[in-house]
Amino acid sequence: MRFPSRLLAANMAFALLLWAALVVLVAVVGAVIAINGSLTESAWEKAAQVPRWYALFVGVALVREYLPMYIAHGQTRRQFGAQGAVTVALFAPFLALLLVLGYLLETGIYALAGLEQALGQVHLFTDPGQLPVVFTEYLVEFLAWIVAGAFMGAGFYRWREGGVFTIPVGVGLVLLAESTVGPGLRLPFLLGRLGRLGLDLPKSPAVALAIGLAVLLAGLALTWSIIRDVPLRNRWS
């Protein structure tokens, strides 16, 4: 089985389909809101919060689903770890590029409709037209969310219920990255200030990239420490 090229291509193709569906959904919802005269901000900005959860579950599946499959087909754990890192490093910028394309499409549509593409949240960028900065922000986010998912997925695969103890570390990795590109991490199940975790970190593309790289390397190292000698399990046991 070719790895990581086949796995990477499959995930890219699926992500592209999900992106297209999200574009259509956002366009329909945005059109309905615009007809009612209440569309005053970027609709894509709101929708862009969803793909990070997809990135998280891609990271989880990378270990829980594909690790045993590829080892059973002749890969060593070391080979899987190295090539899995390549998959994460290439898939994150691909997702970030899709988010940039979403902003570009929205910019054109808003211009035709005479709408203002205002931002309602704190970002590294102050205008959706700052494409390199937009790409940087989402790249840092996706690197953190994917590697956090891989780390937590590895924990649950190895220790089953004991994997719950990896969640605070995974949240910490995401929180660190999110704090470099915005106000921090929003917890959807809590309201108000309790629903926002954040660190007071400098907001600049250079700082964000540096911390994003550090989070990636730390997450990969932590994941490798779990899977380097993990026994294969019967997925139904």
Cα–Cα distance, 206 to 67 (Å, whole number): 33
Closest Cα to residue 57, out of 186, 167, 178, 152? 152
**Average pLDDT for residues 18-37, to the nearest whole number?**
92
- Taking alpha carbons only, the member of 138, 104, 100, 113 closest to residue 39 is 113
Position 14 in a domain: no
pLDDT of residue 234: 67
What confidence tens digit (pLDDT) does each residue in 82-106 have?
989 999 999 999 999 999 999 999 9
Distance from C-alpha of 185 to C-alpha of 33, rounded to nearest angstrom: 27
Q: Tens of pLDDT along 204-218?
A: 999 999 999 999 999
Does residue 10 lie within any of the structural domains? no
Q: Residue 28 falls within a domain, yes or no?
A: no
Residue-level pLDDT at 62: 92
Interval 171-229: pLDDT, tens: 999 999 999 988 766 655 444 444 466 677 778 999 999 999 999 999 999 999 999 99
Q: Can you tell me whether residue 197 is helix, strand or coil?
A: strand
186 vs 160, residue with greater confidence: 160
Q: Which of 107, 108, 105, 131 is nearest to 117 (CA)?
A: 107
Q: How many domains does the chain have?
A: 1
Contact residues for 160 (Cβ-Cβ < 8 A; gap 6+)? none
In a domain, 84, yes or no: yes
- Residue 153 CB neighbours (<10 A): 28
Evaluate if residue 236 carries a pLDDT over 60. no
Asked if residue 217 is part of any domain, the answer here is yes
- Measured CA angle at 204 (ends 202, 210), to 5 deg: 85
User: Is residue 119 within 8 Å of 126, Cβ to Cβ?
Assistant: yes
Residue 162 within any structural domain of the chain? yes
The mean pLDDT of 108-118, rounded to a whole number, is 89
Domain range for residue 193? Answer: 39-227
Token output for 182: 């915005």
Q: State the amino acid at position 200 in one-letter form.
A: D
Q: How many CB atoms lie within 10 A of CB 231?
A: 7
Q: Is the pLDDT of residue 4 over 80?
A: no
* Residue 128 domain-assigned (yes or no): yes
Q: Answer whether residue 57 is part of any domain.
A: yes
